[in-house]
Amino acid sequence: MYQNAASGDRLVGANHRLVGANHRLAGANHRLAGSNNKDLNLRRTGVSLSARKNTDFSKREIRRLQRHGALYRLKLEQNVKNNISLQGLPTLGNLQ
């Protein structure tokens, strides 16, 4: 599931940049594009635990993903799969 994680670190951007600077994901306030959830604020290490209800992972798995900084990539991948447009951003499937 995370075969692109290593390349994702490089290609999703140096200094955690995606579309726009300062850790922004195609939108303001560090929110994933198309998300209505006020609690999906991204941090440098991932996503707050309040985002747990929006995933299929347990609290322990969420903390593990936070430590590896992979949760925001997972949410981005889910949003891309849900046909949410991130302009100019390649989908994670193309990062191989």
6 contacts: CB under 8 Å, gap ≥ 6? none
Task: Dump pLDDT digits (tens) for 31-59.
Answer: 444 444 444 444 434 555 555 455 556 66
Query: What percent of the chain stands above pLDDT 90?
Result: 0
Enter the pTM of the model: 0.20
DSSP string, 16-53: G-BSBSTT--SSSTTPPTT---TT--EETTEE-GGGGG
Does residue 20 surpass a pLDDT of 50?
no
Task: Dump pLDDT digits (tens) for 55-75.
Answer: 556 667 767 766 666 666 667
